[in-house]
Chain A
Amino acid sequence: MNRTPSTARSGTFIASRRSVLLGGASLIAAVAAPGSRVLAASPGSNPGKYKADLGGYIGPKLSDAPMTLRVLRQEFSPEINAPIRAAYTAFKEAYPNITIEEERIPYGDLAKKVQLYVASGSAPDIMMGSTELAPVYSAGKIAVPLNDYFSQDFIQDIYAPLRESATIDGKVMCLAWESNSSFLYFNRDIFKRAGVATPPEVIEMEGGWTADQYINALRAITEKARKSGDQATFGLASSRFGNRGPGSNYSQLESMWVRMMGDPRAPKDSTAYKTFAGISENGQIATGYLDTPEAIKGMTNYQTLFKEDLSPKGIVADQYKGGVAATDFSSMAFANTFRSQGAPFDWGVSPPLRGAIGFASNVADAPFIYSGSPHIPEAAALLAFLLNDTNRRAFYAARGSMPSRQSLTNEMPEYKSDPVNMLAANVAAGAYGPPKSVGWLDYVNAVNPAVKDIALGVDVADRLHTAARQVDRLLVKYR
């Protein structure tokens, strides 16, 4: 696919430390200077150069002085924690002077904890962040740019949309941990019962249904279900993302309804381009981007889902997996769950929906190195070790998620033969990062309620205009 870099991707962010501190919801900057050691000259892989396989690490030789590295990440189940723990043990064997202290917390509390740590000036050396917050890490000088510590080969191996999301002004602020762009899952049994044709089961990013085709199919399914007395089955499952239900998580889910109506290849001054961009080039103006005619059309489609009872207005947990929703959007997670635990129904996948373009969002968890760390090279080395091929393979095998690096998916047979995996890889390569703004959290905090209001029936145009103006006001502090 021929893709044009978006304004947001190439955006330059000029924000004072004070403005980031004022950002409230944004991460607060801590004063810290990166280490001043001389970096190794040669990029590339490092066989034999270090005591362990440090993967893409190209930084200086690690210190022999005793030290403790702190890592903050989300909690996983025991079988997923196991390969990470094994990696720590292996690292400790190679570098006995380095003690690793890991802190695992509930996923929903990660951002809060990072914020607190940074504000206190005493944060772990490595913290799990998110690609969507890369502008915040950069503007607040919270994270160490990783270009000096990771080889260009390693960085280029990361799926382009994930890499671009994490890159600000050419500096990579964090490294995507896994890839989880969503595509369309459907319940073949429900489609069959309704006598409705299933969506195209192809692996190309642009091969899916248009939004109109999708909505028409859901109409037919829901109408049939209601006529047969089935009040429980819906066309689209209640969102599992973020806050659940309508307006759950604009970054990862609902933005697709708007941004698919835009076009990154259109002239920059066109509404089609601005709809896709979502925010001005400097990341500070939403009016004229979030509320274009195309955006209004996209959110009107979204509203139709709820207005016509095609999706529940409230929260229904695990509706698709429970077999009472014809479709849902998910990454490889559903497929892996169904394959490992057995599927309660006949399921299939289809590419993301299309408006002017096929659109999937690519927000990913992404560890970064705290700029205040007293052991930046060693932290970078540990991160590189965790991300080396061996440790990544072990993690992905336990977790079942898709690698964030292309070379790893290329070597896995299932990504050459299994249509679901192949679609996931194509979506990962063709997905788009969220609009880049140092005030991205302010943006989504203003837009999520608007999306919910729209789902519940308010005037789409009015609500989008209001939300755009609200975002503008919230972002003034970053100017």
Chain B
Amino acid sequence: MSENVDTDLPVAAIQSSALSKRAPRDPVSLIGTISLSLIAFAFAFPIAWAALTSLKSTSSVIATRYPLTVWSFFPPHPTLENYVFLFNELKLGRHLLNTAIASSGQVLLVVITSTLAGYAFARLRFPGREGLFALTLLTAFIPLEVILVPLYQVVSGMGLTSTYAALFLPFAAQPFGIYLMRQSFRQIPPELDDAARVDGAGTWRIFWRIAMPNVRPALATLVLIQFIWSWNAYLWPLVIMQDPDKQIVQVMLAGLKGSPNYSLDGPLFAGLTFVTVPLVVMAILLQRYYVRGLMTSGIR
């Protein structure tokens, strides 16, 4: 019995000691945690506020907006009427589908062009390679607004106005994507190529079997960034999509805030919540790959 007592005492002492060692935290780590929490709150707050506001009727949005009270943030009488209106009257589902088609098309095309061009610029030797690459990068510095009229004329001249293809074809090749993939392909040791060639693999086989599996994190980054860009696109769809039924959701939602005299704030917040959620979910799911992709491609 006494032995047991003797044995227990040191264990309790050790546990107590361990607890007391865990208590004092590194102040730098604590400041970091608090700072990150504040930043996360600052970014999440508008989205959460919009989501909560989407559960108010438009008249309630107006009545509780100012001055700020707790009911400015929370719905006094939660309702789903805005979502019903959005899907039944404003056909949000169709517009979401339009946006999904445009985004998918753009992501797919950009992945294809960026990987092929990035691989060529990184691993293949041909005359003018560096010059061509510099020219490609230069296009990143031309804002869409500058080329809007000629781009519209070209796409319109091709008979693509009001087609889904017109939404993403002009952006099929992205200098950022090419740069990202080029950097990633350059990180792969050239000895792998040499070994593959010794084994009889051609350029296409090396690209597909050797290089591509090694740039998966960068690919995830590319997919995420392109999806966000295309999902948030506004100006070009506004210009080229003239059929209201094929218009993307962002332009359709902007139409709800266009007439301040006849407010549709309730449905507007519901729509904004709906289009924000996919981005947030994708960012959370892919953020690990995103960071790794940027690290491995040398873009830090």
**Which residues of A are in contact with B by a Cβ distance under 8 Å?**
70, 74-78, 80, 101-109, 113, 116, 119-122, 180, 231-232, 240-241, 316-319, 321-324, 330-331, 333-334, 337, 341-342, 344, 399-400
Contact = CB atoms under 8 A, between A and B. Distances in A.
A428 to B, nearest CB: 16
A249 B246 CA distance: 32
A182 to B, nearest CB: 10
B29 to A, nearest CB: 39
Given A74-B259, A337-B263, 7 more contacts: A74-B255, A78-B90, A101-B242, A105-B255, A106-B238, A106-B255, A322-B65
Nearest to A72: B242
A240 B260 contact: yes
B259 A107 contact: yes
B181 to A, nearest CB: 33
B258 A107 contact: yes
B243 interface: yes
Nearest to A119: B149
B257 interface: yes
A405 B146 CA distance: 41
A104 B238 contact: no
A120 B152 contact: yes
Nearest to B88: A78
Contacts, number: 95
B220 interface: no
25 contacts: A76-B262, A77-B256, A102-B244, A104-B244, A106-B238, A106-B255, A108-B254, A109-B238, A109-B254, A116-B148, A116-B239, A120-B152, A120-B156, A121-B153, A180-B261, A231-B67, A232-B66, A240-B260, A318-B66, A319-B66, A321-B263, A331-B261, A333-B262, A337-B261, A342-B59
B62 interface: yes
A318 B257 contact: no
B84 interface: no
Interface in B261-285: 261-264
Contacts of B262: 76-77, 80, 333, 337, 399-400
Contacts of B259: 74, 76-77, 107
Nearest to A110: B258
Contact of A318 (B65, B242, B254): B65
B149 A120 contact: yes
A105 B258 CA distance: 9
A122 B153 contact: yes
B261 A104 contact: no
A122 B244 contact: no
A321 B65 CA distance: 11
Contacts of B210: none
Interface of B: 59, 62-63, 65-67, 89-90, 148-149, 152-153, 156, 238-239, 242-244, 251-252, 254-264
Nearest to A70: B242
B255 A75 contact: yes
Contacts of A74: 255, 258-259
Contacts of A344: 59, 63
Q: Which 5 A-B pairs have the closest CB atoms?
A: A107-B258, A75-B255, A333-B261, A232-B67, A106-B254
A107 B148 CA distance: 20
Most chain A CB within a 10 A radius of its CB, from B62, B153, B254, B264: B62
A216 to B, nearest CB: 25
Contacts of A180: 261
A103 B244 contact: yes
Contacts of A241: 260
B67 A106 contact: no
Nearest to B241: A103
Contacts of B62: 317-318, 321-322
Nearest to A341: B59
Contacts of A323: 63
A229 B219 CA distance: 59
Contacts of B238: 105-106, 109, 113
Contacts of B264: 77
Contacts of A80: 262
